[in-house]
Amino acid sequence: MTDRTQSAAFGVAATEPGARVLSGMQPTGDSLHLGSYMGALLNWVRTQEQFDAYFFIPDLHAITVPQDPAQLRQAVRRTAAQYIAGGIDPERSTLFVQSHVPEHVQLAWVLMCQTGMGEASRMTQFKDKSAKGGADSAGVGLLTYPILQAADILLYQPHGVPVGEDQKQHIELTRDLAQRFNHRFGETFRIPEPIIPEVGARILDLQEPAAKMSKSASSPNGLINLTDTDKQIAKKIKSAVTDDGTEIRFDREAKPGVSNLLTIYSVLTGKTVGDIVAEYQGKMYGHLKVDLAEIAVQHLGPVRDRTSELLDDPAELDALLAKGAAKARDVATVTLTEAYQKVGFLPGT
Ligand code: ATP
Ligand code: LTN
């Protein structure tokens, strides 16, 4: 497959031995979905080939909105299983749960003390999520969410952070906080680059192509979960909203629905959008949908089946996550100790 990542960091950093990447996806909603799979997970799989990779499950972030404890436990294992089923190799990459590494919260506190109120409240995700439940019901955790995310990242001194388009602003804040800290207390943190795929960084809702595909989608038919059955996947693609006219062409403005399907097709097959458009010249939207439905089922079916196999052995998954956390702590503790010393805390031992 061609390399679809735009970031210079991917090429430059990969030449440095030991260069790291780190990323995570929240264990909320029913499952990871086609958007997070293409915008993030597939890119993680590519980065693990070239980098010392850390992938974690941000369970601390998951409690910034109301959650059910039993469901959260289940969702953390399911997310870990989906990472592995999607191609993360736990022998090669370090896979862990955020709450198992207390250094994340410890560094977050230090960074919170470097963040302005205005700066935190300007974050788009905070504004969207707090507006949804009414501003008064939003917890302080939602406001400090991106600062915890900055701590997640900076602890591991990564060169790159593979994420979808919507996380750009949080990575920008992370860079600002790192620069501010370094300026104030001396060189401590590496300034990380976002690694955003050129194709697939913003997959749209299949029913509402003005919005991104999201676990909080308004219609379940707009969202393909990695847990969906073959029948559900095929049905959702075949009933995707397309645009006026009949011509299959890539035009994000005038034809967002068809362009979204072409993007999904391109990511799943590795063909360029141009080649796909040429292949479907003179054909109807229906042809494209039928073929894409089959491609998606072939691609996502095995990921779903492997996830459920992995979930059949939760003890094995837990053991793997414990091993990952021990490895992650070895790295995190070095950065935290340095940051604590730089701000003026006395050594504890
Ligand atoms: P929420 O509904 O809470 O915003 P979400 O469904 O958008 O959640 P996240 O868990 O926030 O998904 O995202 C996990 C990762 O997947 C992030 O790196 C994000 O940028 C990426 N991602 C999420 N949705 C999409 C999408 N529609 N297209 C491409 N990438 C996406
Ligand atoms: N906010 C991210 C999840 C996340 C993350 C991170 C991603 C939490 N900490 C650190 C990259 C690096 C999201 O996907 N919604």
* Residue nearest atom 4 in ligand 2 by C-alpha distance: 24
- At 89-136, the pLDDT tens digits run 999 999 999 999 999 999 999 999 999 999 999 998 888 888 877 767
Tally the C-alpha atoms within 13 A of residue 86's C-alpha that lie toward its C-beta. 27
Tell me how far the alpha carbon of residue 58 lies from the centroid of ligand 2, in angstroms.
7
Q: Which residues are known to be catalytic?
A: 129, 212, 215
pTM, to two decimals: 0.94
Calculate the dihedral angle through the C-alpha atoms of 157, 162, 165, 169, rounding to the nearest 10 degrees. Answer: -10
**Is 79 a pocket residue for ligand 2 (Cβ < 6 Å)?**
no
244-248, 264-268, 290-294: least confidently modelled range: 244-248
The atom of ligand 1 lying closest to the CA of 205 is 27
Closest ligand to residue 20's CA: 2
The arithmetic mean of pLDDT across residues 137-147, rounded, is 92
Check: CB of residue 139 under 8 Å from CB of residue 184.
no
Residue count of the chain: 349
Quote the pLDDT of residue 308.
97
**What pLDDT, on the 0 to 100 scale, is given for residue 135?**
63
3-class secondary-structure state, position 193: strand
pLDDT band at 151 (very low <50, low <70, confident <90, very high): very high
Which residue's CA is the nearest one to ligand 2's atom 5? 24
Nearest CA to ligand 2 atom 9: 149
36 Cβ closer than 6 Å to some ligand 1 atom: yes
- The finding on whether 25 has its CB within 6 A of some atom of ligand 2 is yes
Ligand 2 binding pocket includes 61 (Cβ within 6 Å): yes
The DSSP annotation for 31-63 comes to: S-BHHHIIIIIHHHHHHHHHSEEEEEE-HHHHT
pLDDT in tens, 219-234: 899 999 999 999 999 9
Counting from 1 in the atom list of ligand 1, the atom nearest the Cα of 213 is: 27
Confidence band (pLDDT; 50, 70, 90) for 342?
Answer: very high
Q: Is 35 in the pocket of ligand 1 (CB under 6 A)?
A: yes
Residue 282, classified by CB atoms within 10 Å of its CB into exposed (0-12), middle (13-18) or buried (19+), is exposed
Q: What is the whole-number distance in angstroms between the Cα of residue 332 and the centre of ligand 1?
A: 25
Helices 314-343, 69-85: inter-axial angle, 10-degree rounding: 100
